Structure 1
Amino acid sequence: MASSPASDAAKRPGAARSLSLKGRALRYLSAREHSRAELQTKLARYAAEAGEDAQAVARVLDELTAKGFISEARVAESVVHRRAGRLGNARVLQELRAKGLPDDIVQGAAEQLRATEDERAYAVWARKFGRPPADLAERARQMRFLAGRGFSGASVARVMRTATRGADERSDPFAADLE
């Protein structure tokens, strides 16, 4: 009678626990992209409860990185794709830093986002408000909303100028600002 892989793992000392850590890491990765630092934090918590040491977590993370399951570039791309449509550069970059991504990847994402911030800010403004502010109080409220979403002051000012100028009259509301 052939033995099952589970019973083989149980015969090796420490194998079941490392498989458990690896299985947990793969479960996290199957839900969404995680940076190495995020997985380190989550698995360290789990390993402490299971009586594992930090070296076991490091071995699992090294193995997953070597196999390409953990990719900092994919994490950045995923965050930018999911969040850039609703948030400004500052908030997206804050999320990337919170995930423990290296500075070079964060800077690459910043360059990518910088090119589209005005258009994204205008799209967020149009979805939320859609019409120019009626008075100064409304203008301030709209500006605070965009600033709270992480858009730069310059982008907020350009959106408000475009909104009061009448964006419906032009096909590209930011063409004049770029000249």
Structure 2
Amino acid sequence: MSRKDDNSDKPRRSAYDKALGLLARREHSRRELGQKLRQGGYGGEEAGDALDRLGAQHYQDDDRFGEVLVRSRAAQGYGPVRLRAELKSHGLPDARIRQLLEEAGVDWAESAAAQLRRRYGAKAPADPAEKARRAQFLLRRGFPAATVRGLTHAEVDELADESD
């Protein structure tokens, strides 16, 4: 008998068990877990009940998720604009996002400078096109336009950064 045949005889895991398994691997936001459960074919009420139970047991916590995500992404060299957008996509409220970014204790200008050194070395840009490339690199990583302008001395469009 094939492995697939064996699995078809198993009872389906509950939404709670499925979500708990996902949380055992890494932190998830409530929104993210809900989406994964719906994609797995679990109904809205069953998924909601499972998420409520996990929250009550402190297995799922959006605050803890946000702290882990900010710490991880900041260590990877991403800036606050990108972090804000990612946290917002996970359903965290704006006030909590601001608080998480403030509490992170990251010197965003130093982080941006470190990303420039890592990517381009200590050599100064040769021409305006190179300055623009470096500025775009930092903007894609999610650093504010003012920070990028200060580091690269490139003309950066204010619309590139909605948080300034």
Give the TM-score taking structure 1 as reference length. 0.72
Give 1 or 2: higher helix fraction.
1
The structure 1 residue matched to 2:93, chosen from 102, 107, 110, is 102
Aligned to 2:45: 55
Partner secondary structure for residue 41 of structure 2: helix
Distance 1:88 1:122, change over 3 A: same
On the 8 A contact 1:21/1:47 being kept in 2, the answer is no
Aligned to 1:30: 24
The structure 2 residue matched to 1:120, chosen from 95, 99, 111, is 111
Structure 2 residue 153 is matched with structure 1 residue 153: no
Structure 2 residue 55 is matched with structure 1 residue 65: yes
Residue identity in the other structure for 2:60: I
The alignment covers a number of residue pairs equal to 142
The root-mean-square deviation of aligned C-alpha atoms, in Å, is: 2.1
Residue identity in the other structure for 1:33: E
Counterpart-to-counterpart distance in 1, 2:69 and 2:56: 22
Partner secondary structure for residue 14 of structure 2: helix
Deviations 1:121-156 (A, max 9, x none): 011111001121122221111111111111111111
Give the TM-score taking structure 2 as reference length. 0.78
Aligned to 2:65: 75
Counterpart-to-counterpart distance in 2, 1:68 and 1:24: 16
Partner secondary structure for residue 84 of structure 1: helix
Counterpart-to-counterpart distance in 1, 2:93 and 2:61: 11
Counterpart-to-counterpart distance in 1, 2:39 and 2:149: 45
Counterpart-to-counterpart distance in 2, 1:21 and 1:140: 49
Moved >3 Å (runs of 4+): 112-115
Q: Which structure has the larger Rg over C-alpha atoms?
A: 1
Distance 1:114 1:157, change over 3 A: farther
Partner secondary structure for residue 37 of structure 2: helix
**What 5-or-longer segments of structure 2 have no aligned partner?**
1-10, 154-164
Partner secondary structure for residue 118 of structure 2: helix
Percent identity of equivalent pairs? 36
